[in-house]
Amino acid sequence: MKKILNYIDGNYCEPISETWIDNYNPSNGEVYSQIANANEQDVEKAYEAAKKAFPSWSNTTIEERSRIMLRIATLIEENLEELAYAESLDNGKPLSLAKAVDIPRASSNFRFFGNAITQFASEAHESVGLNTMNFTLRQPIGVVGCISPWNLPLYLFTWKIAPAIAAGNTVVAKPSEITPMTAFMLGEICTKAGLPNGVLNIVHGTGPSAGQAIVAHKNIKAISFTGGTITGEHIARTAAPMFKKLSLELGGKNPNLIFADCNYEKMLAVTLKSSFANQGQICLCGSRIFVERSIFEKFKKDFVTKVAQLKVGNPFDENTNIGALVSKPHMEKVQSYIEIAKEEGGIVLTGGNPVVVKGSENGYYLEPTVIEVFDDQCRVNQEEIFGPVVTLMPFDTEEEVINMANGVEYGLSATLWTQNLDRTMRISKKIESGIVWVNTWLNRDLRTPFGGVKNSGVGREGGFEALKFFTEPKNICITYSE
């Protein structure tokens, strides 16, 4: 059976414990590979490799770093078919999605930061009349840790690694143990692209073992983490006494605010995507749908009709809209929320049941589910489900919908549908979230700051924000005589 090995100091290696974790194919429920079960010792070995590589990498010219990163981007593109297949097999997402979104974006991450680093500059401040010149030197931090989740595996893994290495750091990274395959494949690509040994080290294994060892390592000075809010809280608690730099991108419970004056057809089509893309397993999915009362009944009917037409199926079937959920425990968690919704008095308008896919009977398939709820404070409207389940509620006034949109502990993104510019600005300013999309969704320009407020995290990724995170600013103050 295929073995997913650690990638340390430019070489693939077995875990020191010589133990392995089963890796499941969510589309049929079968174990198809084995993952290195890395522990503290493997992390130490990865750290030592990264430490050794740092002096040279941090002094490598920007042009050379950029050249290698662009080469990695090109190799990802050249291996798109193979990587997309692996991503889909590991995660359960439709192959078409992995081909169109996940893998191209992983390539873009390297290309973007490979170019961005050539434009990254710092400030200078002349203290006029004092013969003093200050400037900010932005230096790489050293060895940094990157930990990513399973929903967009290579996409989010590279979103952290690319700015980290562009800025001159060396990295110890861990993908989710649930979806390690494309991170494993990235090692070989980096070697082929000429990335020096030890600049990127990838350890596989569980969060509480390998992940925790990265976070708790006293010499790994910065942690960039994307994952659940509870894990983020644990990481913050571990890292805070060591005063580590932290970037935490956590959960979401994102609202859609749909006004009667919107472009209805466009809104309907995009809302279908924002609800169920990647089986609803995107932190930016709009899982709470608030609709102005005058169009609520029409929307409910049209939306439910379209949702019921979505095809749940094997990820490799080109007609599939909704693939498999990532794992059995996750599927059970999502199903438990459908039961909670019913107990709370919610009405399942469509979906709610597992789907048996012919030829893949043991896969983790669930119907896309729309639930009408009557209290925005109910659990199913408050807690992150992270699956193909959305809630629906009408509203009457702007004030009411803003209160409901903000009435959760999360604040990652919001989507607003209206043609009224004044309302757009009024609401965008009042919404508590890191991103507001107006008449669009998941429209990403990699130069923009990305992240959340409240329990959705601290810090921002993207563009120069990420390069700032992965560098330490130092003030150099020089006085001179006339």
Tell me if residue 283 is catalytic: yes
Q: Residue from 91, 158, 226, 381 that binds ligand NDP (CB under 6 A)?
A: 226
Binding mask 414-453 toward ligand NDP (x if CB under 6 A, else -) reads --------------------------------------x-
Q: Residue from 165, 215, 366, 402 that binds ligand NDP (CB under 6 A)?
A: 215
Residue 114 to residues 22, 70, 143, 156, 424: CA-CA distances in angstroms? Answer: 35, 6, 19, 16, 35
Q: What is the DSSP letter of 35?
A: E
Rank residues 69 and 215 by Cβ distance to ligand NDP and give the closer one: 215
Rank residues 206 and 448 by Cβ distance to ligand NDP and give the closer one: 206
Q: Indicate whether 228 belongs to the interface with ligand NDP (CB under 6 A).
A: yes
**Residue 399 near residue 377, CB atoms below 8 Å:** no
Q: Which of 219, 223, 243 is nearest to 44 (CA)?
A: 219
Tell me the residue nearest to ligand NDP as measured from the CB. 207
Catalytic residue among 87, 177, 249, 367: 249
Q: Indicate whether 250 belongs to the interface with ligand NDP (CB under 6 A).
A: yes
Q: Residue from 65, 93, 160, 174 that binds ligand NDP (CB under 6 A)?
A: 174
d(CA 240, CA 245): 9
Tell me if residue 482 is catalytic: no
| Token couple for 246 | 């932290």
First to last CA, the chain: 73
CB-CB neighbours of 1 under 10 Å: 9
| Amino acid identity for residue 438 in this structure | V
Strand pairing partners for 11? 8
Q: Which stretch binds ligand NDP (CB under 6 A): 136-144, 150-158, 191-199, 307-315?
A: 150-158
DSSP 3-state assignment of 391?
A: strand
Rank residues 213 and 295 by Cβ distance to ligand NDP and give the closer one: 213
Q: Indicate whether 333 belongs to the interface with ligand NDP (CB under 6 A).
A: no
**Residue 156 near residue 183, CB atoms below 8 Å:** no
Residues near ligand NDP (CB under 6 A), total: 33
CB-CB neighbours of 430 under 10 Å: 14
| Token couple for 351 | 């979906």
Q: Residue from 189, 195, 220, 283 that binds ligand NDP (CB under 6 A)?
A: 283
Rank residues 70 and 458 by Cβ distance to ligand NDP and give the closer one: 458
Q: Which stretch binds ligand NDP (CB under 6 A): 63-71, 120-128, 211-219, 333-341?
A: 211-219
Rank residues 234 and 273 by Cβ distance to ligand NDP and give the closer one: 234
The full length of the chain comes to: 482
CB-CB neighbours of 200 under 10 Å: 29
Rank residues 104 and 228 by Cβ distance to ligand NDP and give the closer one: 228
User: What is the rounded (10 degree) CA torsion for 217, 109, 74, 97?
Assistant: 110
Q: What does the radius of gyration of the chain's CA atoms come to, in whole angstroms?
A: 23
Q: Indicate whether 235 belongs to the interface with ligand NDP (CB under 6 A).
A: yes
| Token couple for 280 | 């609803």
**Residue 428 near residue 416, CB atoms below 8 Å:** yes
Q: Indicate whether 459 belongs to the interface with ligand NDP (CB under 6 A).
A: no
Residues 6 or more apart from 330 whose CB is under 8 A from it?
364, 386, 387
Q: Which stretch binds ligand NDP (CB under 6 A): 220-228, 293-301, 342-350, 351-359?
A: 220-228
Q: Indicate whether 252 belongs to the interface with ligand NDP (CB under 6 A).
A: yes
Q: Residue from 457, 459, 462, 463 that binds ligand NDP (CB under 6 A)?
A: 457
Catalytic residue among 146, 190, 283, 378: 283
d(CA 248, CA 232): 6
DSSP 3-state assignment of 414?
A: strand
Q: Residue from 163, 251, 315, 387 that binds ligand NDP (CB under 6 A)?
A: 251
Rank residues 66 and 391 by Cβ distance to ligand NDP and give the closer one: 391
Rank residues 66 and 209 by Cβ distance to ligand NDP and give the closer one: 209
Pair type for strands 389-395 and 288-292? parallel
Q: Indicate whether 115 belongs to the interface with ligand NDP (CB under 6 A).
A: no
d(CA 280, CA 359): 24
Binding mask 351-390 toward ligand NDP (x if CB under 6 A, else -) reads ---------------------------------x-x----
Q: Indicate whether 91 belongs to the interface with ligand NDP (CB under 6 A).
A: no
Residues classed as catalytic:
249, 283
Residue ranges binding ligand NDP (CB under 6 A): 147-151, 156, 174, 176-178, 206-208, 211-212, 215, 226-228, 231, 234-235, 249-252, 283, 384, 386, 412, 452, 456-457
